[in-house]
A and B are shown apart, each in its own frame.
Chain A
């Protein structure tokens, strides 16, 4: 997404400066090298790997990714901050993304959001104090026939009514296919 940068709390690099990127993580990133003409092009795959491993992309991680790919850390930040899918701060273990585009709006996304806000006692772009849940909104998720819909991590929940919220969130596997 866009030049309007939403909700990116600053996560300082750890004071001890210990490297984050283990050999294993680096090996995962290195698997992308043969697929592209340049190291720079491995940046987005690398950001995916890092976020999947650590739950976010901290400034320390950006610095190390930059070193590994020979891209200045400022440019790592430049790329990363453009996309809504990467974040520097902490997010809940389960990130709920509610679609807010037109089709889902017409089908009642606002009532769904309100039910989630109440159930979790947080607003959009917030995380519950126990670190379990974050509540986000995004533009069209490409599942408009299921509106109103939401993703919990990688799983899509279709036609979610406000009354369904408690039941869905109580399921420990609600984020897995």
Chain B
């Protein structure tokens, strides 16, 4: 049976950004239903759907909401629209093509968690999404969907503001985001306390990704049981917006149930449609840069919450695949990744700051043609000493650096050994020295 689009169902509809079209297509029905159901029933429904966070960590949304202390007076909802993970752009599709779906998700989550203000933390580079969201918010306010006594409900008032970021990857990390929201540098906080207890301005705060919140709409509209029947239950339920980029015929954002294989995403006729100009796949990052690399023999990996780990990856990540073809020099790839994590490290933790910088230096040495075979072990060793998983960092940035670096060296070791033995550098790197 063909999969019926859920999150992308309005993407190709003319005028999909307007509240009228959104309403004609059944929009804002779910928030009305949620208000009738009441907070506890909605929370229960989201839990039953087993919706897991789409921002990278995969934490169950209903459980996260239940961590809020019961006797709180103020609650904030932070919508994570910082989307800066290389290879990832599904949040942008939602915000540019169906902004009201996100707003409705914010409303349902805000109602359920008793949030009084929702901040959409939007990366500054998303200028188009900013304009579209602003307009959608105006329309929603005019329809009494935000503000006081929403839809006439005396027990539900909430404002929603867009807070623009200013160019910093680490502000996508939930506590970095909160610090940045408070007007500070985006330095992730030591946890606990978790945001649910003390988040923005020290108040209980829920941080959720744009796609996670969008999923709440169909869960309420069509029921948790229906949602949980999609994908690979019980661990990986629901639809997912996958992205694929690199030299495939049709790079873009496509929806399918959780559990699509990497091969289908790259080659399927409804997805990437295979490689351009007869190019051959060398390596794939299947879930945003931080999850790590697959070889061309590992394309049967399923994009769900479990399978990627079997291939030595960090996890599902954001399900944003970057395809690398055989013509690409892997030393360039190594340097690019090392530079990314080094320049985007916030610098608080020694292992992350120094480790990523030293790996970048080693990567440059390898690329310039003067690398040594021991350098490969050195990189692997450094990656083993950083990250939350090894208990040596404040946030997941260092883990995110570890996985692509170590899997690249491990899975393509022979290529790197050959590069090093040949002692011929990458022209651009030598020129830049």
Contact = CB atoms under 8 A, between A and B. Distances in A.
B is bound to A:
yes
Interface of A: 1-4, 35-38, 40-45, 47-48, 69, 71, 78-79, 82-86, 97, 100-103, 105-107, 110, 138-147, 151, 154-156, 177
Interface string B51-63: 0000000000000
A83 B344 contact: no
Interface stretch (B35-43, B85-93, B106-114): B85-93
Contacts of A47: 166
Contacts of B203: 37
A35 B325 contact: no
B169 A1 contact: yes
23 contacts: A1-B344, A2-B346, A3-B346, A41-B181, A41-B182, A43-B183, A44-B180, A82-B168, A83-B166, A85-B165, A85-B167, A102-B87, A102-B289, A107-B247, A140-B86, A142-B91, A142-B92, A142-B123, A142-B126, A144-B320, A145-B244, A145-B251, A147-B246
A144 B89 contact: yes
Contact of B84 (A97, A142, A151): A142
A105 B428 CA distance: 13
A4 B343 contact: yes
A37 B203 CA distance: 10
Contact of A44 (B161, B164, B336): B164
Contacts of B167: 1, 83-85, 138
Contacts of A105: 332-333, 336
B166 A35 contact: no
A149 B252 CA distance: 14
B125 A141 contact: yes
Nearest to A76: B183
Given A85-B167, A105-B332, A140 B181 contact: no
Contacts of B307: none
B170 interface: yes
Given A79-B184, A85-B167, A147 B343 contact: no
Nearest to B324: A106
A145 B336 contact: no
Contacts of B325: 106
Q: Which 9 A-B pairs have the closest CB atoms?
A: A3-B347, A43-B183, A83-B166, A82-B185, A144-B245, A85-B167, A84-B167, A145-B251, A140-B86
Given A41-B181, A82-B186, A142-B125, A2 B343 contact: yes
Nearest to B85: A140
Contact of B89 (A37, A84, A97, A143): A143
B130 to A, nearest CB: 9
Given A2-B346, A71-B183, 14 more contacts: A2-B168, A2-B169, A4-B342, A38-B182, A43-B183, A82-B186, A83-B167, A102-B322, A142-B92, A142-B123, A142-B126, A145-B253, A154-B127, A177-B131
Contacts of A45: 163-164
A86 B322 contact: no
A42 B119 CA distance: 13
B368 interface: no
B84 A106 contact: no
B329 to A, nearest CB: 10
Contacts of B251: 144-147
A149 B149 CA distance: 44
Contacts of B125: 97, 138, 141-142, 151
Contacts of A155: 127
A145 B163 CA distance: 26
B166 A144 contact: no
B336 A102 contact: yes
A136 B278 CA distance: 33
A150 B11 CA distance: 24
A97 B124 CA distance: 13
A51 B363 CA distance: 36
Contact of A102 (B83, B185, B337, B428): B337
A93 B89 CA distance: 28
A168 to B, nearest CB: 17
B159 interface: yes
A1 B246 contact: no
A2 B345 CA distance: 6
Contacts of B246: 103, 106-107, 147
B8 interface: no
A48 B162 CA distance: 13
Given A84-B166, A106-B324, A145-B89, A79 B343 contact: no
B183 A41 contact: yes
B168 A83 contact: yes
B249 to A, nearest CB: 12
A36 to B, nearest CB: 8
Contact of A2 (B88, B124, B170): B170
B189 interface: no
A1 B168 contact: yes
Contacts of B346: 2-3, 82
Nearest to B340: A139
A154 B346 CA distance: 26
A45 to B, nearest CB: 7
A38 to B, nearest CB: 7
B209 interface: no
B86 A106 contact: no
